[in-house]
Structure 1
Amino acid sequence: MTWQALFSLLTVISVLGAMAFTRIAADVIVMTALTALVVSGILAPGEALAGFANPGVMTIACLYVVAAGLKETGAIQWLAQRVLGQPRSLKLALLRVLLPSSTLSAFMNNTTVVAMFIPAIQDWANRLKLPPSKLLLPLSYAAILGGTCTLIGTSTNLVVDGLLQSERGVNLGMFELAWVGIPISLIGGTFLYLFAGRLLPNRQGALEQLEQAREYAVEVVVSANGPLVGMTIADAGLRNLVHGYLADIERHSRLQTAVPPDTELQAGDILIFIGAPECARELRHIDGLRPANGDVHKLDIAHHRRCLVEAVIGPDFTGLYQTVRQSRFRSRYQAVILSISRQGRRIPGKLGAIELEVGDTLLMETAQDFVDQYRYRKDFLLVSALSDSTPPNFSKTPWALSILGGLVAASASGLLSILEAALVAAGMMLVTRCLPASKARRYIDLSVLVVIAASFALGAAMTNTGAADMIADTIMLIDGLSPWLALALIYLMTVVFTELITNNAAAVLMFPIAMAIANRLGVDYMPFIIVIMVAASASFMTPLGYQTNLMVMGPGGYRFTDYLRLGAPLSIIVGAVAITTVPFIWPF
């Protein structure tokens, strides 16, 4: 083994470890690796930066703009209102979620589809008295499945297609992947339709917990010279509030829960009430109570002027693993956190002492411009106004849908390449004013593009130094290794990488290994490449492997075990369908 090959392998292993076990941003990790490969002389600058000129990367950038136009014009919301309908059972509701989400995700960014459907399904489930936990995770999984049906369905497909173009001069057609994507979507969708309602818990998201379990916490202190000292809770009228109830009493730094109504109040008692916003106003009219730590003052806003916002904390949030107080959340974001939900549970205790983590869902009281201000920033994965949100520009919906249809028709007919069609469609979104250029820039996720483009350097280093060949030779030592078994191993390795790191990076790293194995076996490389495309998207077992899985975690009230319960059998089903189907369509 040459030192160049060893250095390349160590670099890849370091990237995998850093992505899986540290909080360092993925784009920082891969750019550091790219720098190391250039400085060491393993790659020339042109080779290292070739990914930034790859057609697949540029196509993804253009499709961000197209997806933004569809979102800003309310095209998805318009479709959702017409396809969700008024089902009479959970099974029919699941069907109405699975079909449109999988179909739409075949032609646009999965993240956009899920982001637009989440608030619509929350409101819809509330009206139909259905638990959102039965619907939101199937929404994410259906979007992932639908993305395997077309070349533009997921960024992973475009990345691998870009590698094929640069390495072999091969272009995949718009619907070429449908031969395997449609069976996967149909069989996986059928599994979700039959078993999602049984395997997923009847659990509520953060908004529903607030409405029914009343999770606004308001703290007040019993005044030392007030009339409530010595009175029981019942006699003080604290058991008869209209908009809230007394949950706990903190006395001499000790928390008393499930307090009986005959408990006598003492001076300095901190009473913790759980209730709706109007609870704060009720407490102000009770003589002998004063705000604790100013919380009641923070809630002293007329209800019609409030903006309730649900936000899912992302990996780039500046106050990660700091308490709410340490993060200076209120002064930094001009918002007051009312409730925090983690893995479907309201976290007890003082809000100021809770450490914030990735995936936490915050229910906040803030100004109405908060959504517009932070929707495009990376602090939060999802920012959704729960009330008083500004409606989209529905007058532009026909334009946005027509542009999307033109993109699909032009690329599918061969009139334009995928990149050319995406460039034209993005330009038309701006020309028709479906969205302004300023918003288009914000929608382009540069961190994702950098990760994808820089990951190409890792693949090039593994190929140029022979590291990929050595990995292939190691796999070839398995006794009786057949093309079918090798295909299954490639699929399994890609799935593991996808669950640990980003799906695009997993595809780029597995590409040279798959090409080397196909070369050693003397078979065609296309079955292995198609399997990588499917496996890199098939992240169902953890909320971290695919962004849409993390987006629904808070709103659906999910825990890690919920993903395993439904995602593990789905992952096995998708893998079995892909491995058995692909060689018949793309023979060895």
Structure 2
Amino acid sequence: MTLDAWLALIVVTAVFPMMAFSRLGPDIVLLGAVILLLTLGVIEPDQALAGFSSSGLFTVAFMYVLVASIRETGGIDLIIRYVLGRPHGEFKALIRLLLPVASLSAFLNNTPVVATYIPAVLSWSRRLPLPAHRLLMPLSFASILGGTITRFGTSTNLVVHGLLIDREPRLAMGLFDIAWVGVPVAIAGLVYLVVLGPRMLPARRGAAALFENPREFTIEMEVDTAGPLVDKTVEQAGLRHLRELFLVEIEREGNVVSVVGPGERLKGGDRLVFAGTSEGAVDLQQVRGLVPSRHGASSLEKDFKERRLVEAVVSNQCQFVGQRIRDGHFRTLYGAAVLAVCRGGERVVGNLGQVRLQAADVLLLEARPPFIERHRQSRDFLLISQVNGAARPVHEKAWLAWSILAGVVLLASLGVMSMMNAAMLGAALSLLTGCCSVGAAKRGLDTQVLLTIAASFGLGAALETSGAAGVLAENVLAMAGGNPWALLVATYIVVALLTALVTNNAAAVITFPIVMTSAESLGVNPMPFVVVVMFAASASFLTPIGYQTNLMVQGPGGYRLSDFLRLGAPLNLLTGGIALALIPLIWPF
């Protein structure tokens, strides 16, 4: 191999463990790799930037705007309201949940679908009653299965197809061509989840169950009307830096002061709510002027318009991951106080200020009302939902948002215009008709996914132009014995394993040139291998880090890694076997 080929291979090889095991986001890792390859002269500037001009990338971006319009108008809430209902038994409940989710995910990005469904499912499970952990992992898996039905069901499908037509325009696929494989795969997967799923998942306690009794993690005291603390600030009263407690809110004359600042002045009769350990209550007993609360119901059980109790799932991209809550100044940055932390189905006990946050932790927060909208699209949180909050009202423009999406699908499927042009037109109509504001459109763009896709193009180009892809293809062919069937199976296994550890888009884009070169060297039709890359990149059932929706349900469901392996491994084998059996029949070698 040439020096450039060795450099490209070393950099790409280093990228995958860094994405899997470092705290850096995949976008940062991949952009850094592209910059390094550009600096070393392995790729030219136009190759490094090729991903930013890809039709697949822009199609994904415009589709995010369409999804944002449906979410903002309450289009998904509308379906949830009419579909969930009150089924009798777990079997019927799973059917009512999984079929609509898979159908929606065939046309919408999975993440907002699952994010909208999770709060509704948690409330629904309490009404049935049915344990939430029996519903949430199947919810995530159903959204992944639904994404395999259409070419635009996932961003990966769109990007891989974009790579394909850039290389071989004659091989362009229709919007529903992969449905010949996707529908059987989705049906088999849904049957597995409905029939065997409940038997495969052990009992788990989710965050909602752990957070339902506020008295377990709060201590309430009152300011003595005749005591020395009246008219003193929180700082002056010595309540700012308690060892194992912190002041969350003050209930005063029927109102509440949430996310209390150090300059807030205390008044006689104020009811102070502290979060922390029961052992920390000893410190409060030593504070002159504080007496135990004489009220019956917990202050957190009351409904105040000035504050909200919300559950937030920590993203693996959160800047506080690995930091202690107190050291990171969580309250200062977000304007929210942490009341409790749930991890792996168990509430984290001890001094909250000393807890080091991890990805998929569920935080019970007290915040002011604007917090939810301000941070709903934040990359620091996978999901933010109001505790016992009412569903968002259905907007009168929901039908229009759905109509615009249907028009986009119709225009693209009939060949009137390309998928990118149709998506661009649909995004513009969404903004012009008021289905989506410019701010909501910006928040709806998943910049991490878009940057990951764009940077992956640069790495793929480095492998191809340096000759590394050709060398790797020769080695792969030698291992497969020149047998296209063996190569097809090997491709599926490698991409599926990579997507379980790193982002599916990066796994697909980086392996694409190697797979195409291998097929061309064999002298066979590359289409079976292209479609296998699409399906293998979507087979993210083995780990919570393999796909964002898996991380979203991990905390609320109280799942452990073993739960994903228990339910996901057989599903991976089932869907992989069906895909590998059908793909060569529809796209012969």
Task: Name the aligned partner's letter for residue 507 of structure 1.
Answer: A
Distance (Å, rounded) in 2 between the aligned partners of 1:389 and 1:83: 17
Per-residue deviation at 1:318?
A: 2.0
Distance (Å, rounded) in 2 between the aligned partners of 1:219 and 1:23: 38
Matches within 5 A, 1:45-124: 45-124=45-124
Alignment deviations for residues 225-250 of structure 1 (CA, whole Å, 9 cap, x no partner): x9xxxxxxxxxxxxxxxxx9xx9863
Per-residue deviation at 1:302?
A: 6.0
Distance (Å, rounded) in 1 between the aligned partners of 2:277 and 2:391: 38
Residue aligned with 2:76, SS = helix
Per-residue deviation at 1:315?
A: 2.3
- Say if 1:388 and 1:99 are closer, same or farther in 2 by CA, change over 3 A: closer
Contact persistence 2:34–2:458 (CA under 8 A):
yes
Per-residue deviation at 1:389?
A: 5.9
Distance (Å, rounded) in 1 between the aligned partners of 2:534 and 2:133: 29
Residue aligned with 1:115, SS = helix
In structure 2, the residue matched to 1:495 is 496
Contact persistence 1:463–1:469 (CA under 8 A):
yes
Distance (Å, rounded) in 2 between the aligned partners of 1:81 and 1:302: 24
Matches within 5 A, 1:389-468: 391-392=392-393, 394-468=395-469
Count matched residues. Answer: 533
Per-residue deviation at 1:371?
A: 0.5
Per-residue deviation at 1:520?
A: 2.4
Distance (Å, rounded) in 2 between the aligned partners of 1:217 and 1:471: 59
Distance (Å, rounded) in 2 between the aligned partners of 1:541 and 1:574: 13
Per-residue deviation at 1:210?
A: 1.8
In structure 1, the residue matched to 2:363 is 362
Residue aligned with 2:119, SS = helix
In structure 2, the residue matched to 1:260 is none
In structure 1, the residue matched to 2:140 is 140
Say whether residues 1:562 and 2:563 are aligned partners. Answer: yes
Task: Name the aligned partner's letter for residue 358 of structure 2.
Answer: E
Contact persistence 1:69–1:435 (CA under 8 A):
yes
Say whether residues 1:38 and 2:67 are aligned partners. Answer: no
Matches within 5 A, 1:530-545: 530-545=531-546
Per-residue deviation at 1:299?
A: 6.2
Contact persistence 2:214–2:300 (CA under 8 A):
no
Distance (Å, rounded) in 2 between the aligned partners of 1:17 and 1:548: 21
Pick from 279, 294, 311 the counterpart of residue 250 of structure 1. Answer: 279
- Say if 1:130 and 1:487 are closer, same or farther in 2 by CA, change over 3 A: same
Distance (Å, rounded) in 1 between the aligned partners of 2:104 and 2:16: 32
Distance (Å, rounded) in 2 between the aligned partners of 1:333 and 1:172: 45
Residue aligned with 1:322, SS = coil
Distance (Å, rounded) in 1 between the aligned partners of 2:46 and 2:99: 44
Task: Name the aligned partner's letter for residue 155 of structure 2.
Answer: S
Distance (Å, rounded) in 2 between the aligned partners of 1:517 and 1:64: 33
Contact persistence 1:308–1:385 (CA under 8 A):
yes
Alignment deviations for residues 34-59 of structure 1 (CA, whole Å, 9 cap, x no partner): 11222222211112211111110000
Task: Calculate the TM-score normalised by the size of structure 2.
Answer: 0.86
In structure 2, the residue matched to 1:153 is 153
Contact persistence 1:407–1:421 (CA under 8 A):
yes
Contact persistence 2:120–2:391 (CA under 8 A):
no
Per-residue deviation at 1:447?
A: 2.1
- Say if 1:268 and 1:177 are closer, same or farther in 2 by CA, change over 3 A: closer
Distance (Å, rounded) in 2 between the aligned partners of 1:578 and 1:121: 30
Residue aligned with 1:394, SS = coil
Residue aligned with 1:364, SS = strand
Distance (Å, rounded) in 1 between the aligned partners of 2:221 and 2:560: 32
Per-residue deviation at 1:220?
A: 7.0
Give the superposed CA RMSD: 2.5
Distance (Å, rounded) in 1 between the aligned partners of 2:579 and 2:478: 25
Distance (Å, rounded) in 2 between the aligned partners of 1:149 and 1:390: 29
Residue aligned with 2:309, SS = strand
Task: Name the aligned partner's letter for residue 52 of structure 2.
Answer: F
Distance (Å, rounded) in 1 between the aligned partners of 2:219 and 2:509: 50
Alignment deviations for residues 424-460 of structure 1 (CA, whole Å, 9 cap, x no partner): 1111111110121122112112221111011101111
Alignment deviations for residues 506-541 of structure 1 (CA, whole Å, 9 cap, x no partner): 000110111122122221110000000000011101
Distance (Å, rounded) in 2 between the aligned partners of 1:403 and 1:304: 36
Distance (Å, rounded) in 2 between the aligned partners of 1:572 and 1:391: 38
Task: Calculate the TM-score normalised by the size of structure 1.
Answer: 0.86
Gaps of 5+ in 2: 228-272
Distance (Å, rounded) in 1 between the aligned partners of 2:436 and 2:480: 58
**Identity across the alignment (%):** 44
Residue aligned with 2:212, SS = helix
Distance (Å, rounded) in 1 between the aligned partners of 2:23 and 2:524: 40
Per-residue deviation at 1:377?
A: 1.7
- Say if 1:16 and 1:479 are closer, same or farther in 2 by CA, change over 3 A: closer
Task: Name the aligned partner's letter for residue 186 of structure 2.
Answer: S
Contact persistence 1:144–1:537 (CA under 8 A):
yes
Distance (Å, rounded) in 2 between the aligned partners of 1:112 and 1:300: 29
Task: Name the aligned partner's letter for residue 158 of structure 2.
Answer: L
Residue aligned with 1:358, SS = coil
Per-residue deviation at 1:499?
A: 1.2
Per-residue deviation at 1:206?
A: 1.1
- Say if 1:492 and 1:312 are closer, same or farther in 2 by CA, change over 3 A: same
Contact persistence 1:524–1:587 (CA under 8 A):
yes
Per-residue deviation at 1:304?
A: 5.9
Contact persistence 1:368–1:389 (CA under 8 A):
no
Distance (Å, rounded) in 2 between the aligned partners of 1:376 and 1:81: 23
Residue aligned with 1:365, SS = strand
Matches within 5 A, 1:67-466: 67-169=67-169, 170-211=171-212, 215-218=216-219, 250=279, 268=282, 283-285=292-294, 303=304, 305-388=306-389, 391-392=392-393, 394-466=395-467
Distance (Å, rounded) in 1 between the aligned partners of 2:303 and 2:78: 31
Task: Name the aligned partner's letter for residue 473 of structure 2.
Answer: A
Comparing 168-177 and 388-397, the one that deviates more: 388-397
Contact persistence 1:215–1:346 (CA under 8 A):
no
